[in-house]
Amino acid sequence: MKTLSFVSTMLVLVALVFVQFLLATQSRAERIKEFDRSGKLIVVEKTAAELQPAYNIKNKSPEKVFPVPRPPFSEGIFPCSQCHGYMKPNPQRRILKDYHEDIVLHHAEGQRWCTDCHNLLNRDKLRLVSGELIDFSESYRLCGQCHGDKFRDWKVGVHGKRTGNWNGDKQYLLCVHCHNPHDPKFKPLKPMPPPVRPDAASH
Ligand code: HEC
Ligand code: HEC
Ligand code: HEC
Ligand code: HEC
């Protein structure tokens, strides 16, 4: 009697393990409809590993922080909160008259305004399209949102300037060390006057 119940318990256990195994293999593979190279709709079997997306916005690794010198602020303007901490933020697009008159936006200005890059509430931070706030020492990420090709080149030292050991720590210049963020296009240089002819200069 005792051995019989032992055997039946074992049988139930084995059966359970078997069912478990079947379920597991089923949940691992899935039939997926997708388009093949010629654009035909096909049904393919995919394993769980294949179903796992290789890239996902949520598991994106944080952007690397690059060592840079101090951002090229004008004397005494930073922190911005020394004034803006006490001012009511004004999101209105307008010609600035009280301060910053020297800033004239000439950088896809038809489509945007100061607060696309500067955070309205905390003026000491820059703002990405995603809403993430970043420090001025990371402004390359702001530029990289729209100039992805230049940002890639900059990271590997093809665009811009990178100094340091070839296999040691490297320092990068920020995009804004060379480009004015408000008016980034380089102006064509005014040609120098022609040299004075020596015979004209001698009398
Ligand atoms: C394309 C993004 C962008 C836009 C648009 C933009 N800024 Fe800036 N601004 C920057 C970045 C980046 C810096 C940081 C430069 C640095 O690191 O020194 C900066 C710097 C500044 C500074 C400090 C300047 C200095 O002399 O040191 C002021 C003030 C400022 N912005 C105001 C404005 C105002 C006002 C507007 C709208 C008329 C505006 N910004 C529009 C990106 C932008
Ligand atoms: C000495 C005081 C002072 C400092 C420092 C200052 N600002 Fe301003 N800022 C002003 C004033 C005043 C205005 C309003 C100008 C107007 O309405 O004509 C203004 C307006 C702005 C605006 C337009 C939006 C708004 O809220 O009016 C932006 C953007 C801005 N400042 C960014 C900056 C940034 C970025 C810095 C630091 C890098 C900075 N400011 C530092 C005084 C200052
Ligand atoms: C929201 C998108 C956007 C962001 C952010 C942005 N730019 Fe631009 N940028 C543009 C567009 C669009 C143009 C071309 C139109 C124009 O020049 O007004 C441009 C033009 C330029 C040019 C001139 C290219 C030429 O033809 O000579 C430079 C340089 C530049 N940007 C640098 C920067 C830097 C540096 C930053 C960061 C402070 C930055 N951009 C941030 C969209 C962006
Ligand atoms: C050491 C100075 C320097 C730095 C740093 C720098 N640039 Fe430039 N950039 C230049 C010069 C010089 C040119 C013009 C010559 C050329 O086209 O290569 C230029 C050209 C550009 C242009 C226009 C190119 C075109 O196709 O007409 C863009 C956009 C630009 N830079 C974006 C950036 C961005 C974004 C960064 C930061 C990630 C950056 N730059 C960093 C010096 C610099």
Residue with the nearest Cα to atom 39 of ligand 2?
A: 80
Strand, coil or helix: 56? coil
Q: Are 178 and 160 in contact (CB under 8 A)?
A: yes
92-134 pLDDT, tens digit per residue, is 999 899 899 999 899 998 888 999 999 999 999 999 999 999 9
What is the torsional sign of CA 19, 20, 22, 27? Answer: positive
Distance 107 CA to ligand 3 centre (A): 6
Identify the nearest ligand to the CA of 110 by its number. 3
pTM for the structure as a whole = 0.80
Q: Is the CB of 114 under 6 A from ligand 2?
A: yes
Q: Is the CB of 116 under 6 A from ligand 1?
A: yes
The confidence band for 23, taking pLDDT boundaries of 50, 70 and 90, is low
- What one-character DSSP code corresponds to residue 4? H
Q: Are 10 and 24 in contact (CB under 8 A)?
A: no
Beta bridge partner(s), residue 45: 31
**Test site for ligand 1: of 94, 182, 183, most ligand atoms within 8 A of the Cβ:** 182
Which residue matches tokens 């909160």?
A: 81
Element (H, E) at 44: strand 41-46
